[in-house]
């Protein structure tokens, strides 16, 4: 069910949500968090689809607040349009879409404050643009977890360095989330024979993608060896931008190479090649992973610090 409200107020939105619960039995009981999505008008649907899918694992209230790109138009009439989505149109969540026009777009905290679930964590997500300092933004100040996507910015590498310079506990970025499968396979590789130290390594991929830089920083931190970054050219890199990771050991090279969007090859000295699942995960899977861990990610913090130190 979708209910549209034009030229409305947050008080009216709250009243209509209460009516829906009383009339149809749609309740907030069992909701584990509030996800607040900040995006641009016209760019809401992809984020809503991802949130609806993720809500099947994390029942939640989804508040999508959107405004015109990057600025508040002083000549535009202040106006709030809203949509309430419940039932089949909202997955296992309830979705409140708030479109802000004119000066109203600069008062996001006041708009969403009364719609948050009581006594539940708040997660803020910027699926397209991101604030310079997520924790200091209006929505970031009320959130336990703040999700950005440096890969969607005009200069992704510069964006991840900006995030490194303003990191606060609770920050995370989907460029880091996209490395989960790679990190798991590489950790498993090092748990198998030959049990030899790693002397160095090479990370190849799209150097414009922040995930490549985060992977190199993670390997340097965990292995305490120099890691070279190399542009891979035209290869099936997937959403992480990675093509291959090679680790130098005395007996030869150990490596993980993506050969297709969903397949990688593990190579170890003296062992046959192994094909492994290295899928390009959709946005809904990346979001669901981040919603599983509301505590600060200390490894992400260390990797950001190492990335920033290298760039200095």
So what's the pLDDT on residue 311? 80
**Looking at 1-5, 41-45, 97-101, 190-194, which range is the least confident one?**
190-194
So what's the pLDDT on residue 28? 46
| Alpha carbon of residue 195 to chain centroid | 34
| Confidence class for position 235, pLDDT limits 50, 70, 90 | low
Token duo for residue 250: 């005395």
**Greatest mean pLDDT among 14-23, 75-84, 144-153, 234-243:** 144-153
The whole-angstrom separation of Cα 198 and Cα 224 is: 9
Q: What are the residues whose beta carbons fall under 8 Å from the beta carbon of 100, sequence distance 6 or more?
A: 65, 66, 67, 79, 80, 108, 111
Q: CB–CB of 308/161 below 8 Å?
A: yes
The whole-angstrom separation of Cα 124 and Cα 293 is: 14
Q: What is the mean pLDDT of residues 132-146?
A: 96
Domain ranges, ordered by start, for the chain: 2-173, 180-277
So what's the pLDDT on residue 195? 86
Q: Is the pLDDT of residue 305 over 60?
A: yes
Q: Each residue of 244-257: pLDDT tens digit?
A: 999 999 999 999 99
| Confidence class for position 86, pLDDT limits 50, 70, 90 | confident
Q: What is the mean pLDDT of residues 138-144?
A: 96
Q: Each residue of 152-202: pLDDT tens digit?
A: 999 999 999 999 999 999 999 999 999 999 999 999 999 888 889 999 999
pTM over 0.85: yes
Mean pLDDT of the chain: 90
**Looking at 72-81, 152-161, 237-246, which range is the least confident one?**
72-81
Q: CB–CB of 52/91 below 8 Å?
A: yes
Q: Each residue of 251-293: pLDDT tens digit?
A: 999 999 998 878 999 999 888 999 999 988 899 999 999 999 8
Residue 183 to residues 16, 189, 202, 218: CA-CA distances in angstroms?
46, 10, 15, 9
So what's the pLDDT on residue 71? 54
So what's the pLDDT on residue 234? 66
The whole-angstrom separation of Cα 147 and Cα 291 is: 9
The percentage of the chain sitting over the pLDDT mark of 70, rounded to a whole number, equals 92
Q: Distance between the two ends of the chain, CA-based, in angstroms?
A: 52
Spell out where 53-129 has E strands.
Answer: 60-67, 79-85, 94-101, 122-125
């Amino acid at each position: 069910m979708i209910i549209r409200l034009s030229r409305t107020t947050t008080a009216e939105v709250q009243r209509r949500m209460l009516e829906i619960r009383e009339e149809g039995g749609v309740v907030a009981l069992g909701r584990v968090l509030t996800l607040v999505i900040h995006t641009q008008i016209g760019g809401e649907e992809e984020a809503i689809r991802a949130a609806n899918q993720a809500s099947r694992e994390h029942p939640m209230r989804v508040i999508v607040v959107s405004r015109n790109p990057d600025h508040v138009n002083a000549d535009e009439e202040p106006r709030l349009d809203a949509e309430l989505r419940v039932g089949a149109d909202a997955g296992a969540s309830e979705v409140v879409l708030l479109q802000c026009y004119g000066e109203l777009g600069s008062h996001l905290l006041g708009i969403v404050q009364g719609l948050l679930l009581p006594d539940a964590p708040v997660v803020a997500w910027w699926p397209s643009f991101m604030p310079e300092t997520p924790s200091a933004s209006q929505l970031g100040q009320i959130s336990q977890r703040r999700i950005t996507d440096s890969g969607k910015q005009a200069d992704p590498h510069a964006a991840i360095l900006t995030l490194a310079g303003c990191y606060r506990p609770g920050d995370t970025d989907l460029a880091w989330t996209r490395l989960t499968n790679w990190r798991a396979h590489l950790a498993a590789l090092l748990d198998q024979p030959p049990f030899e130290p790693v002397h160095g390594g090479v990370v190849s991929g799209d150097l414009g993608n922040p995930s490549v830089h985060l992977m190199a920083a993670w390997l340097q931190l965990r292995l305490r060896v120099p890691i070279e970054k190399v542009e891979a050219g035209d290869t099936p890199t997937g959403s992480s931008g990675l093509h291959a990771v090679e680790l130098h050991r005395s007996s030869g090279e150990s490596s993980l190479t993506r050969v297709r969007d969903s397949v990688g090859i593990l190579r170890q000295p003296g062992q046959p090649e192994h094909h492994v699942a290295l899928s390009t995960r959709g946005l809904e899977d990346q979001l669901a992973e981040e919603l599983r861990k509301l505590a600060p990610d200390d490894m992400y913090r260390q990797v950001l610090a190492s990335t920033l130190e290298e760039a200095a």
